[in-house]
Structures are given as C-alpha cells and as structure tokens.
Amino acid sequence: MSRKYFKILLSLMVVFGFFVSINAFAAADKIVIGHSACLSGKYAKAGEQAIGGIKACIDWVNNVHGGVLIAGKRVPLDYKYYDCESKKEGVTSLIERLITVDKVNVVFAPYSSGLTLSGAPVAERYGMVYMDHGGASDRIFQQGFQYAVQTIGPGTRYHVGTLDMLDHVDPAAKNVALAYEDSEFARMTMTGAEKHANKLGKKIVFKRTYPTGVTDLTPLLSDMKAKKPEIVLGGGHYEDGQLFARQMSDLDINVKALSLIASATLPAFYGALGGTIAEGILGPSHWEYGVTFSPEGAMKVGLEWIGPSQDEFVSLFKKSLGKEDMIPDYHAAEAGAQVLAYVKAVENINSLDQDKVRAALGKLKFMSFYGGWDIDDATGLQIGHSMVDMQWQNGKRVIVWPLEAARGKLVYPKPKF
Amino acid sequence: MVFTLLAGNLIQGLLLGGVYGLATMGLSLIFGVINVVNVGHGQFIMVGAFVALTMFTALGLSPLVAIPVALIIGMALGFLFFYTVIHRLIKAPELTSLLATFAMGILLEEVAKLIFGADFRGYNWGLGKITLAITTIQMSKVYAFIGSVVIALFLYLWFTKTRLGTAIRSVIEDNEGAQVCGVNVGWIYALSFAIGIGLTVMSGVLLTMFIPVGINPYMGGVYTLKAFVIAVLGGLTSPYGAFFAGLIFGLIENGSYTLFALIPGVAPFPLTVSLAFWILFFLLLVKPTGLLGK
C-alpha cells in the first residue's frame, strides 16, 4: 500500500472514529423510547390513553426521579412516536423507521394484540427490545420471540376473576354465553374464560363470534337470547362493545351479569351509550383509579417500589394530555408502568445493550401504582400482574373484585336495561 | 324456535334494509346522472351521523328534526364539492374521479376528526320499544324505517311528477338527447350531485336512529362497501332499484344468520357477511344490469 493510500485510509478511520464517538456521546445524552402509537383509527381512544400514560411516567422519570441512572450519570428519557392509524401496515413500517432512522433505544408496541403481533417480527429482526402494553393475546408470546416483553396481563386470565366473583355471589348461575369479536385478543380471552367456566362447573350455552367491524349484532344477540344465558361474557374492543351493550338493550336481553372486554372499562363508555344503558355492566381491568398499591404494600410482599403514586400519576397524565377532565384508564396505566419497567431494567445493568436489557427485564420484579410486574423470563409473558373487575354504578366505575381491592359492592343481578 | 328466530330477524332486517336502501339511493343517482362513482360515499353518511349526534346532544333536538337539517347540509356540501371538484371530472378518465372522491372522503374524515375528535360516540333517544312474540323492536328503528320509505316515496313522486325530476331522468336516460331538448345539463349535473349527497347525509341521521352508537370520523368505510353491493344489486343507475336492493340486502344479512346457525360447526356471522357478495357475484353473471337496471 502506497503512503498516499495509507494517509487516505487513516483519515477515513479518524473521521469514522469521530462520528462513532459523537454517536456514542449522543446515545448517552438521552434515552429514546420509540412508539408506533394509535392516534387515529379504531384504537384511537386507547392509543390516546397510552400516550398520556407514557408521557406521564417519562415526566416522572425525568423530573422526579432525576433521569435514568446509567453509569453514574442521570440521562433523560425522550419519546418519539408516530401514528400507525391502527393499521398493521403502518405498524411495521413505522417500527422499522424508529429503529433505523430515529435510532431509538427501545420500541413500544401499539395497542391491540393484532397490531402488537404484526410489529414483533420487525423488532425481532433488528434485535430490539419490544415492549407490549396493549397486546394481551398469549399467542404473541408463543412465537418464540426473544425481545418481546409483556406488561399487560395475558388474555386468557381476563375473565378468571369475573367468573370467580360471580360464582362467589351466585353459585347457582350456571348458564354462560360467550359472544365475541373474531379477533386474536378476544379469541384468547374467551378461550381462557371457557376453560375457567368449565372448571367452575358452569355450562356454556352459547358460543359464537362476530367479524371485526360489525355494524349490526341483532341476529347474533337474538340467537343468544333464545339460549337464556344468565351470564354473558362478550365484546372484543371499544367499538363493538358499545354496539353489543346497546343492542342487548334494544332487544331487551336482561341477564344476571354482563361483562364486556376492553370497552366497559373505558371512561367514555357510559357517555357513548347515552347513560343508563351502561349501568351494572362489568369489565375486567388491569388497573382502575382507586386501586391501592403503595410502597408500604410493596414492602409487605417483598417487592421493590418504583414510580409515582396513583394520585401523582393521574395528575401527570392530565398534564401530559392537557385535559383536566380526562381520567386515565388501564390503557394509560399499563403503558406508563412499561416505562418504569424499562428504566428499572436499564438502571439494574447500567447498559442500553438490547440483549442485556432483555435479560434484566427477565429478572425484574417490582411494584408500581399499576401493581405487580414480573415476566416469564423465557417467553416474556406477564405473570406478576393481577386484574380487577369494575362495574358501572350510578355513572361511576367501581372496583368490585377482588374483595381485598374492592371499593364497592357488586350490584347483582345486573339492573334491567 | 328456528322459525320464530327467523321471523324476528327478518323483521329487523327489513327495517335496517330500508335505511340501507335510502343510503344507497344517492350513490345510484350520482352514478346515473354524472357517471361518477363516489368512493367517499360512506363519509357523507358519517357527516349525517354527526349532524344527528350534535343536534341531539348539544341542542337537545330530536333526530327527526335533524333529517331536514342534514338534507340542507348535505346539499350544500354537494354543491360545494360539485363546483370545486366534480364538474372538472365529468369527462375525465374514471380513475381520476375515483381518486378525487376518495380524497373527498379522507378530507371529510379529517375535518370531522378535527372538530369532534376520534372518539366513538353515541346517544340514547329513549322512545320505548314494541315487544312482539318473536322480537323486540325499538321505536326509533320503526321511525327510521318509516322515514326512509317516506323519503324514497317522495323522491319517486318528485322524479315522476315534476319537470325538474323528469329532466333528471331524461339525463340518466340519454344525456345528449336531453341537451338537444333544451335541458340545462350542467345544472342537472350539479343538482343531481347535491340531491345525491343530501340523501346520503340524511340517511346518516336515519342510520343513527337504528344504530345510535359507534359514531366516529372513520365509520363510513364499511357503509361505502355495503352501498356498492346494494347499488350494483339494484342496477347501479336506478335509485329505486337501490332502495329495493337495500331491503333485500337487509333481509339477507339478518335472515341468513338463522339458517347458517343450523349448520353444525359453522360460524354463521362470517358466512352471513359473505352471502351478500356471493349473491352479487351470481347476479352479475346472470343479470349484470342488476335487479331493476336496464
């Protein structure tokens, strides 16, 4: 190699080294959370809640916690998100953009099981930790993904508490109907519900699915009415949950208990039904305002506490969205708790290396305002979080199960429409 | 039991079919007169739904009052879009008008999102119910059906008994012949487009009387698809054909569920949705002009 070429090569190496060092410095300067968020489309409501929850906890980490403690230095969190329009094609391209163009340090999945599942292979391809706050389907964690980590509880457990509660108050109510959206999340939820109902000695008298985007459930609900169920477990997402409740009311289908997944728990559910129709409707929830998780409680069960108190979280949530009258629901809480889990994992290992962070998440156990957090190390499935059941009572969401977390008594049987 | 369920579902299907029929008449009218396929059709239904919701929740007015208001808003939108966009596309390639109406739909969605947000909303117009032995029917659904039939009848009389209506029919029949006979075709184009959009927006109000939940800026897409099936079933250029096809579609959609549910191991709902498309497929093979098309 001539002297001239050697000089050129040396110059290139110096320039390359300079940019690498600049990049390393920039990476240490802030930690960027990338999120393919549902700002519009069918999951816009849950998406807005998730963004509020994430911003609230980032605010807490940066301004109360003082930043992420990494290698002896406090580093602030930054949040980069794009609107996936609640569409799979948007999710995959945006996650790729977040990783390759925006160079984020971690990717947060969008809302819903279907969208979470569609984005997982992209994150996997780039070896990027992929944190799931809104995809409850167990199937996401049965694909062998190495970097997917769940904060929301698995779908198969959604109605376990509901059925236990109903069996507790009325063991004689045996006839259960399952009517649900033909979606990944609802299928998984109802598989778990059916299994648990059978275990409790209940009888499944009706089991039918309806397609996503349905606009009229009259035939299905008329069919269900003929089977005379006492307990109805149904729904899929917010849109069809509204339709489900409304058309049960239209057809005068009065049952002892009605529980709807991923819709009844949303604060807007009551108003969207024009009021009284929502009275008495139940919903399984990962978190509700009023649950009593605290540092003292964490200490009692031997878990480390991290994050804001419940009231601090609610206040930061409102500030983050600029909506004083908006109350966070579980979509916000689980997304916020995911920020805390990531921060805790990074602090535990003093590194942003994807494999090390994933390994640290596998070992992590903690409690926050959201409740317990612990994943199955091998699959990434959430195993440490318990659900609650809420019921609409006089226009308010009241936690009715489990008894130790209950803020009110279950209204049973459900008031007639 | 099966017959009871079937009869109940057919009644519900007939009521909904009336609203579907009215919702499609505008699409057929516009295609019949100016040969433009309005891909943004469902978004105009969404506008009507928001008119009903706003008048009910903000002003406390009955959806029945919202019907004429929706017609006026719809016709105003129709004239606006015609003179700004559509009139340039009448002689343009079909793809251009498809893209333009698609863009119109997106524009409406985003404006609605800007004004109302992306939430799913609803209202509760408690008028009571009729309880029959075979089913229970909300009175608001009965009113929606009666409203659809009355509007369709009024339109029929207007088309057949008035000079303006006859002029529109003449343009549907033979554009150039009508022009030779002194019909102001340019004005008929504008008026037909405005009436078509007015009918569509009005049907959005009636639709919320049937299904008063799930009102959001993106609700229109599914109705565009249904309206296309119904329009082709009815003969594409025939507004009356569209109305009757709407009734048939409603009956098929609701009635077939009960029959499919009899087949063991089959999920009836997806089959119900696909059946209308199968019927459309066979109809296009046997009578491509639709039921009442020429």
A43: which residues sit within 8 A by CB, 6+ positions away?
A86, A110, A111, A112, A115, A134, A237, A238
Same domain for A253 and A396: yes
Query: Rounded CA gap, B255 and A191, in Å?
Result: 28
B292 domain residue, yes or no: no
Number of domains in chain B: 1
Checking if the pLDDT of A26 tops 50, the result is no
DSSP state, residue A327: P
Same domain for A187 and A260: yes
**Dihedral (CA of B236, B240, B246, B248) sign:** negative
A residues 194-253 lying closer than 8 A (beta carbon) to B: 208-211, 213-216, 218-220, 222-223, 226, 238-239, 242-243, 246-247, 250-252
Same domain for A90 and A126: yes
- Angle, vertex CA A261, rays to CA B128 and CA B252, nearest 5: 55
What pLDDT is attached to residue A370?
93
By DSSP bridging, strand A388-393 and strand A257-261 are unpaired
User: Does residue A76 or residue B254 have the better pLDDT?
Assistant: A76
Residue A41: left (phi > 0), alpha (psi -120 to 50), or beta? left
- Do the chains contact at A243 and B214, CB–CB below 8 Å? yes
What pLDDT is attached to residue A6?
55
User: Does residue A163 or residue A42 have the better pLDDT?
Assistant: A163
What pLDDT is attached to residue A129?
97
> Which residue intervals of A177-294 are DSSP H helices?
184-199, 218-226, 238-250, 268-272
Lowest mean pLDDT among A4-8, A108-112, A385-389, B285-289: A4-8
What pLDDT is attached to residue A28?
59
Query: Rounded CA gap, A401 and B115, in Å?
Result: 38
Q: Which of B73, B58, B17, B31 is nearest to B199 (CA)?
A: B73
pLDDT tens digit sequence for A129-159: 999 999 988 889 999 999 999 999 888 889 9
Residue of A44, A242, A252 with shortest CB distance to B136: A252
Query: Rounded CA gap, A273 and A296, in Å?
Result: 39
What pLDDT is attached to residue A192?
94
Checking if the pLDDT of A15 tops 60, the result is no
User: Does residue B293 or residue B62 have the better pLDDT?
Assistant: B62
Q: Which of A43, A39, A54 is nearest to A334 (CA)?
A: A54
Same domain for A395 and A375: no
Share of chain B above pLDDT 70, in %: 99
Same domain for A364 and A315: yes
pLDDT tens digit sequence for A208-239: 999 988 999 999 999 999 999 999 999 998 88
- Angle, vertex CA A40, rays to CA A323 and CA A310, nearest 5: 40
**Dihedral (CA of A412, A416, B1, B6) sign:** negative
A106 domain residue, yes or no: yes
pLDDT tens digit sequence for A242-254: 999 999 999 999 9
List of chain B residues whose C-beta atoms are within 8 Å of the C-beta of residue A39: 118
Same domain for A168 and A143: no
Q: How confident is the model at residue A25 (pLDDT cuts 50, 70, 90)?
A: very low
Checking if the pLDDT of A314 tops 70, the result is yes
Share of chain A above pLDDT 90, in %: 74
Calculate mean pLDDT across residues B29-43.
92
Q: What is the mean pLDDT of chain B?
A: 91
Buried b (16+ CB within 10 A) or exposed e, B190-209: bbbbbbbbbbbbbbbbbbbb
Q: What is the mean pLDDT of chain A?
A: 91
What pLDDT is attached to residue A386?
84
Distances (CA, A) of A319 to A66, A146, B172: 18, 35, 58
B98: which residues sit within 8 A by CB, 6+ positions away?
B37, B39
List of chain B residues whose C-beta atoms are within 8 Å of the C-beta of residue A276: 124
A277 domain residue, yes or no: yes
Query: Rounded CA gap, A354 and A357, in Å?
Result: 5
Checking if the pLDDT of A23 tops 60, the result is no
- Do the chains contact at B213 and A243, CB–CB below 8 Å? yes
Same domain for A396 and A257: yes
User: Which amino acid, B158?
Assistant: W
Calculate mean pLDDT across residues B52-62.
95
Same domain for A109 and A186: no
A173 domain residue, yes or no: yes
Calculate mean pLDDT across residues B176-203.
93
From the CB of residue A323, how many other CB atoms can be counted at a distance below 10 Å?
A: 12
Checking if the pLDDT of B117 tops 70, the result is yes
B residues 273-292 lying closer than 8 A (beta carbon) to A: 273
Calculate mean pLDDT across residues A78-103.
95
φ and ψ of A6, to 5 deg: -60, -40
From the CB of residue B147, how many other CB atoms can be counted at a distance below 10 Å?
A: 21
CATH (domain of A201): 3.40.50.2300
B265 domain residue, yes or no: yes
Q: Which residue has the tokens 């990434």?
A: A380
User: What is the SS3 assignment for A73?
Assistant: strand
B168 domain residue, yes or no: yes
Choose the mutation target among B269, B271, B272, B277 for the interface with A, i.e. most A CBs under 10 Å: B269
Query: Rounded CA gap, B164 and B196, in Å?
Result: 15
A225: domain range?
157-285+389-401
From the CB of residue A365, how many other CB atoms can be counted at a distance below 10 Å?
A: 15
Q: How confident is the model at residue A293 (pLDDT cuts 50, 70, 90)?
A: confident
What pLDDT is attached to residue B145?
96
Same domain for A252 and A344: no
What pLDDT is attached to residue B281?
85
B161 domain residue, yes or no: yes
A161 domain residue, yes or no: yes
Same domain for A358 and A377: yes
Share of chain B above pLDDT 90, in %: 66
User: Does residue A53 or residue B288 have the better pLDDT?
Assistant: A53
A10 domain residue, yes or no: no
What pLDDT is attached to residue B288?
81
B50 at the A interface (CB within 8 A)? no
Query: Distance of alpha carbon A224 from its chain centroid, rounded?
Result: 30
What pLDDT is attached to residue A43?
86
Q: How confident is the model at residue A22 (pLDDT cuts 50, 70, 90)?
A: very low
Query: Distance of alpha carbon B218 from its chain centroid, rounded?
Result: 16
- Do the chains contact at B122 and A219, CB–CB below 8 Å? no
The whole-angstrom distance between B39's CA and the closest CA on chain A is: 19
B72 domain residue, yes or no: yes
CATH (domain of B186): 1.10.3470
What pLDDT is attached to residue A21?
44
- Do the chains contact at B124 and A243, CB–CB below 8 Å? no
User: B189 is written with which tokens?
Assistant: 């184009």
Lowest mean pLDDT among A22-36, A324-338, B188-202, B273-287: A22-36
Give, for B109, the enclosing helix (H) or strand (E): helix B94-116
B199 domain residue, yes or no: yes
Choose the mutation target among A38, A190, A205, A215 for the interface with B, i.e. most B CBs under 10 Å: A215
By DSSP bridging, strand A371-374 and strand A231-235 are unpaired
A255 domain residue, yes or no: yes
Q: Which long-range contacts (CB under 8 A, 24 or more apart) does B126-135 make?
A: B129/A250, B129/A252, B131/A252, B132/B8, B132/B11, B133/B4, B134/B4, B134/B5, B134/B7, B134/B8, B134/B11, B135/A222, B135/A251, B135/B7, B135/B8, B135/B9, B135/B11, B135/B12
User: A229 is written with which tokens?
Assistant: 């169920």
What pLDDT is attached to residue B21?
95
B263: domain range?
2-286
The whole-angstrom distance between B30's CA and the closest CA on chain A is: 25
Query: Rounded CA gap, A297 and A314, in Å?
Result: 19
Number of domains in chain A: 2
pLDDT tens digit sequence for B200-247: 999 999 999 999 999 999 999 999 989 999 998 888 878 888 999 999
Query: Rounded CA gap, B139 and B150, in Å?
Result: 16
What pLDDT is attached to residue A11?
62
A102 domain residue, yes or no: yes
B257 domain residue, yes or no: yes
A410 domain residue, yes or no: no
Query: Rounded CA gap, B44 and A211, in Å?
Result: 24
Same domain for A170 and A132: no
What pLDDT is attached to residue B7?
93
Same domain for A295 and A263: no
List of chain A residues whose C-beta atoms are within 8 Å of the C-beta of residue B211: 215-216, 243, 246-247
